[in-house]
Structure 1
């Protein structure tokens, strides 16, 4: 007998303009207006933009000055991360009514494996629709969803009918969908990689599929095999409900550029204090400490050191970044400093937990 194919049912839920939408929810005077969450000062950066602001080309990670130039009537709002976390927890409570296999990516998006679900509903598409409706009814916020048999395709699909929509890509349509997809729409392919692909004659999935694996490895190194697989619908990564944090970081952009290591050390001391608080809050320590330096010309440099023991104490963090700072001379004025800790000890915790693995026949 021929073996039946098995697939997972994966939903990717992505809140629409989450930070900005929460601000408009809490302040009726902001509704229907172009707003940006973040700083509007000289060194400010947009963390999130409402859809009213996006019509003017305002995007996250854009400088506040450029955002204001694109949209003179733009209203800047200071972020309130405690409020966003509060709402995010309520959204996840809704998710838990359907499945325990939830992998958060950030406060505003997550993967859900509903292959087996608490509602006994065989349709992942209907579950996604119900979840989105509950988020709107209970929290008065809009969410979009992508549904497919892999995290990779579900992530791409959630962006297709934004805002406040959803898209299902069933298993039998995945290959044709990916073949027609513009290469810049592939999740994980940024502007630099897309530009390189254009130069190689790769403009959409079908062009990528024509390239053999050795060609892709030659031009994209270790990522080449990944690109070879994903365009063929091969992506077996599971939803990981116990996804471990890989890094903890703190950084600061300065109103005026720093030109002296003495001033940099003063700022790094404060950043170390903030990082210690975040490590304590996350209950983790790490071995690898990285100093991030962004210069006035926007070039970024990182310097790292791995210690023989796990640390979270601000004094050790500061001593290590001090050593990294003086590793070589700072040749230009500095606009941003940051410290991150990786190689965390969270892999030691919950070591007895067994991973959950389910695979059933897929019905959309």
Structure 2
């Protein structure tokens, strides 16, 4: 039985800013792009969340909800430096650390000698060390696998700890809302709800075969997660499976020809980031004025500009008169070309 800890920093970017600027601690604060340049919110503090502001919200919408919101561009170099300090703390307890981003990671402490092997006491001490040494707070979940540890870390946020021992897993999972499962977004939750499925316990009633018929591979994954099953090991290195670039436009565009022109401006940067690596597919991403998005992909062995242009035009048909606010293009790397990466870097992130 594994002992997995998921550590998630509380409103990380905003927390670093509040630590460094105490006068911002009790006011609504968000890190993100300028409203005048169609920016989005990367993260915000809890006073801002009280106004309904959240990550990925358009900056202009956030300012409408909270006119007194302090919106700053942030300092990514500082956040990365602090993230490295946090990882150094993790590695005091175990070498099995899997970063997911700058502000969260899985730790496998199954064989850790600290505190007599108690994952609960290790998690408490990690949170103490982060607070004492960096003046930041972290929430943590302790469970027998990665899936459950991540769910657990959300239970007592902010600055909390939730422990899910093996004996409690079955009861905990049965009452777990499906909308809380990683990978179940709003649309998937709506589809599940239309089938009368709201909690994990109901997945057992519909059965694995029916879930697979309706949702494919994801249906089989739902079946496993609905029983608290997750056999994934903590990976000390993450694999980058794709390379991409995207841009949020200052004003919406409405014609596919305009989208192609944006794509042509992105193309040289995509080729630079790809650096000659072999690929097995290409994908176009469009985000519409209502913030819904679509993707269209095709298999290919080389980055083909003409193919990217055709995909852009085809994807545009899904706009149905809506303006487009974001255009992106990415390629899927071949297995032998997939590169090991630090979990904190996000290619193509456009403030």
1:175-194 alignment, distance < 5 Å: 175-194=170-189
Per-residue deviation at 1:118? 5.6
Find the aligned partners of 1:155 and 1:265 in 2 and give their Cα distance: 40
**2:216 aligns to what?**
221
Distance 1:132 1:121 in 2: 18
- Further displaced range: 141-150 or 96-105: 96-105
Of residues 89, 94, 98, the one that matches 1:99 is: 94
* 1:165-222 CA distance string (max 9 Å, x none): 1101000100001112222222322222222222222222222333322232233332
What does 1:1-364 correspond to in 2, within 5 Å? 7-42=1-36, 43-117=38-112, 119=114, 121-259=116-254, 264-276=259-271, 278-279=273-274, 286-296=279-289, 298=291, 300-309=293-302, 321-322=308-309, 324-325=311-312, 333-344=323-334
Higher-Rg member (1/2): 1
Q: Contact between 2:256 and 2:316, CA under 8 Å: does it hold in 1?
A: no
Give the Cα–Cα distance (whole angstroms) in 1 for the partners of residues 179 and 210 of structure 2.
Answer: 19
Alignment: residue pair count: 336
- The TM-score with structure 2 as length reference comes to 0.85
Q: Distance in 1 between matches of 2:228 and 2:160?
A: 23
Shift of 1:294: 2.7
5+ unaligned residues in a row in structure 2: which ranges? 341-351
- Structure 1 residue 265 displacement after superposition: 5.0
TM-score (norm 1): 0.82
Gaps of 5+ in 1: 1-6, 310-315, 351-364
- What RMSD in Å do the two structures reach over aligned CA positions? 2.7
Distance 1:293 1:192, change over 3 A: closer
- Which of 175-184 and 191-200 deviates more? 191-200
